[in-house]
Amino acid sequence: MSKAYEIVTDSSCNLTEETIDQLGLHILSLSYIVNDVEKFSYIKGQVFNHKEFYEQLRSKASAKTSQVTPEQAREVCTPLLKEGKDLLYIGFSSGLSGTFNAVRVALEELKEEFPDRKILFEDTLSASAGQAHLVYIACKMREEGKSIEETHAWIAENKLKICHFFTVDDLWHLQRGGRLSLGKAAIGTLLSVKPILIVNNEGRLVPIGKAKGRKKSLDHLLEKMAEKIDPVASNKVYIIHSVAESDAGYLEEQVKAKHKGLETEIFHLEPVIGTHTGPGICALIFTGKERE
């Protein structure tokens, strides 16, 4: 496929290998470390066992993650620039990972090495399918003949319309990652309280409410989506989950029943973000008129 410019993103966009190949993307992979064994979130040809991974997390295995390094970014991007290609990097929220800033360091250096090439980058302030949606649109704009500057400008102008609403099943993982105090996690677990969280305008995870019990938390996601969604801007709703197929199915059923004409797509949450949320996350990601 002939491309006017190359689009680079990272593994937190949560796209499948098939979609990555179809879109002609280049992927920088974050990594996750479980019980001292490090693995990349995305390797072409790799089959990821979601059930096994989340069972390890459920058993409270030691787990952490690692961002993309400037060296990794240079390794992927330098050959593209040597081929005479311009480059647009669309990255994982800087509010959730140091990846975007690390890649930006590499790209600023590459600008000096390749002064004749256009090298642009944008922090999506989004994650998972939110990031993927922006990448999809960038690829579509490229296919339609839009310039790298036009595509970059659209992403920058529209990224804060991507809304992320989610809930988790086990508060321990948020507490381990420093996103919830130990006391609140203990009380919430005891009372079966499920937090409702969003990705805010700074690209960070913040709680906005809570619900008692799993079903009420899922219904709360649906209520927030009904308040925020802009079906004119996009009729696509993404449902994200980590080994919570029945709950994801419930959300899809409710979205289709209450919002005729909306399309849904279900994503299994990739392991780097999943390390911090644990098994049982459910999220609705969609386009609104504004995020906050």
* CA atoms 154, 269, 175, 66: torsion sign: negative
Read off φ and ψ for residue 261, nearest 5 degrees. Answer: 95, -10
CA–CA distances in Å: residue 11 to residues 20, 26, 135 = 10, 10, 12
pTM to 2 decimals? Answer: 0.93
Which segments of the chain belong to CATH 3.40.50.10170? 6-160
Which segments of the chain belong to CATH 3.30.1180.10? 161-287
Cβ partners under 8 Å of residue 17, min gap 6:
42, 44, 45
| Structure-token match 């809304």, residue found | 163
pLDDT at 173 (0 to 100) = 59
Cβ partners under 8 Å of residue 115, min gap 6:
none
Taking the C-alpha atoms of residue 251 and residue 70, their distance in angstroms, rounded to an integer, is: 39
Taking the C-alpha atoms of residue 27 and residue 73, their distance in angstroms, rounded to an integer, is: 9
Give pLDDT tens digits along the chain (292 positions).
Answer: 458 999 999 999 999 999 999 999 999 999 999 999 999 999 999 989 999 999 999 898 999 999 999 999 999 999 999 999 999 999 999 999 999 999 999 999 999 999 999 999 999 999 999 999 999 999 999 999 999 999 999 999 999 999 999 998 876 656 665 545 433 433 334 346 788 999 999 999 888 888 988 999 999 999 999 999 999 999 999 999 999 999 999 999 999 999 999 999 999 999 999 998 889 999 999 999 999 8
**Architecture of the domain whose range is 161-287:** 2-Layer Sandwich (3.30)
Q: Helices 128-143 and 148-158 meet at what angle, rounded to 10?
A: 150
pLDDT at 192 (0 to 100) = 65
CATH topology of domain 6-160: Rossmann fold (3.40.50)
